[in-house]
Structure 1
Amino acid sequence: MKIDTPKIPLNLTVANFSDIFLEEDPTLEKCIINDSEFTNEAVHRVRLYNTVIKNCNFTNTDFSNIDIMDTRFENCDLSNVNLKHSSIHRVEFINSKLLGSNFTESRVGNVKFENSILNLAIFGDSKFEKVIFKDVSLQNTDFFNCKLKKVDFESCNLNEANFEQTSLKEIDISSSTFESLTVSVKDLVGCKVSRYQAIQFASLLGLIIKD
């Protein structure tokens, strides 16, 4: 699946994330932020546009209602970050850690998560359209009551992920691995799985498979 990539200009201004405290309207755009630490803070309705963020630490920070567009995160730590009610479009998270991050009731479109850790992340009640998870660990991640449209899970660890009340119709998980999933039978209809996964699901449903 092809998705729209971030539109980032070649000439970016060097900035620091703490610069947003100097403005009434917390906005950063057309800039590059490198090696910044912004932890245990709370800034609401932040806007990030046309920006590259590298090697930054944002653990335990409250960014609820954030608006992120045309931005790339590389080698960043967003563990336990509050991103509730966020709007995230044309964004990439590369080699980043989002352990326990909260994306509840967010809109996520044309987004790629690659070589990243999202264990225990919460996406409940969110809407996804054209999203790629590639080589991502999603253990115990919560997708409760999400709307998934054109979402790919490529070579991911989905063990113990929760898809309760989330339809997996036309969602391809065949290249990913898991020992168990929380998902209802009706929401599995139309899901694309491997032969081995089909046997796993049969076992989870209590079926006895005979040779």
Structure 2
Amino acid sequence: MTPVGSQRDVYRPPLQKPAKPKVDKRPRPAEAEEFVDDAVLRAVHFDGKVLTGAVEVVEMENSLLSNTRFVGASLRQSVLSDTDFDTVDFANFRALDVALLKCRVGTSRLTGSHWQSSHFTDVTVESGRADLAQFRGSKFRRVIFQDVHLQQADFQGAELAHVTFEGCNLTGAQFANCKMTKVEFTNCTLLDVGGTAGLKGATVRGPGATELALSLARDAGILIEM
């Protein structure tokens, strides 16, 4: 007999997975000087470039960035779609109202980057670092973080729907005032997580569930003595 209140037989629709980017198979080589205000970049390849400056209103699609660094760079009110970022250094990069649509970010560094009020739709982030990254007030839909270092990342006030964190280190991450729909944490490290009330609606699997319980107890004012 199934106990009253059991979730065993409740149907749970699967998470929607992100669509893959459609990168041009033969993008033309691009120069750093093309990364300027109001640029429209289609089917280009920034390879080994250093991109700098405060840039606004860029449209980039069907493109590839590899072994490229953003140095002292910022971006506002721009759309990057169907683009593959492979081994890209976004450390301390600042983005405001930027949309990533159908993008892959692989083996890249986002340490200390700021993504304020930005939109991530159909995005996969793989095998990189995003510790101390700030995503405050941003919106995530159909996003996967896989094997990413997210220690002390700040998701405060973010909206997440159909988002998966898999094998990520989220020690000290902040989730205060988040809104979550169909969010899963699988085999993640969830020590000393802040704003645990913002995780309402999420599913946690693996050892991170026990780690998260300690943070939940702390936020509830419960003292646990071992």
Q: AA paired with 1:199?
A: T
- The partner residue of 1:112 within 115, 124, 127 is 124
Q: Does 1:172 align with 2:184?
A: yes
The equivalent residue for 1:64 is 76
- Alignment partners' CA distance in 2, 1:106 and 1:195: 30
- Counterpart check, 1:75 vs 2:58: no
Instruction: Report if aligned partners of 2:176, 2:196 keep a CA contact under 8 Å in 1.
Output: yes
* C-alpha distance in structure 1 between counterparts of 2:182 and 2:81, whole Å: 27
Residue 44 of structure 2: aligned partner: 31
Q: Comparing 71-80 with 1-10, which one deviates more in the overlay? A: 1-10
TM-score when normalising by structure 1? 0.90
Amino acid at match of 1:38: L
Distance 1:199 1:15, change over 3 A: closer
Listed as ranges, the matches of 1:125-164 within 5 Å are 125-164=137-176
Distance in 2 of aligned mates of 1:54 and 1:195: 34
Give the distance between the partners of 2:93 and 2:58, measured in 1 at CA: 13
Please list every run of 5 or more consecutive structure 2 residues that lacks an aligned counterpart in the other structure. 1-15
| Residue equivalent to 1:203 | 214
Q: Is 2:64 the partner of 1:52?
A: yes
Partner AA of 1:13 in structure 2: R
Matched AA of 1:68:
L
Distance 1:106 1:191, change over 3 A: same
Q: Is the 8 A contact 1:20 1:27 kept in 2?
A: no
Count of equivalent residues: 206
String of CA shifts for 1:141-186, please: whole Å, max 9, x gaps: 110111100000010010111000013453211311122101233x
The residue identity in structure 2 corresponding to 1:201 is L
Paired with 1:107 and 1:180, the residues of 2 have a C-alpha distance of 27
The change in CA–CA distance for 1:208 and 1:72 in structure 2 (over 3 A counts) is: same
SS in structure 2 at match of 1:201: helix
In 2, Cα distance between equivalents of 1:132 and 1:149? 11
**Separation in 2 of the partners of 1:196 and 1:76?**
31
Could you tell me how far apart the structure 2 residues matched to 1:175 and 1:70 are? 29
Aligned partner of 1:193: which letter? V
Partner of 2:29: 14
- What are structure 1's unaligned runs of at least 5 residues? none
Kindly tell me: are residues 26 and 188 of structure 1, through their superposed partners in 2, closer, same or farther at Cα, counting changes over 3 Å? closer
Change (3 A) 1:132 1:36: same
2:20 is matched with: 5
RMSD of aligned Cα (Å): 1.9
Residue pair 1:37, 1:56 contacting (<8 A) in 2 also:
yes
Segments of 4+ moved more than 6 angstroms: none
Separation of aligned partners in 1, 2:149 and 2:178 = 19
Structure with the larger strand share: 2
**Alignment TM-score, normalising by the size of structure 2:** 0.84
Check 1:184–1:178 CA distance in 2 against 1; reply closer, same or farther (3 A cut).
closer
Q: Is the 8 A contact 1:32 1:52 kept in 2?
A: yes
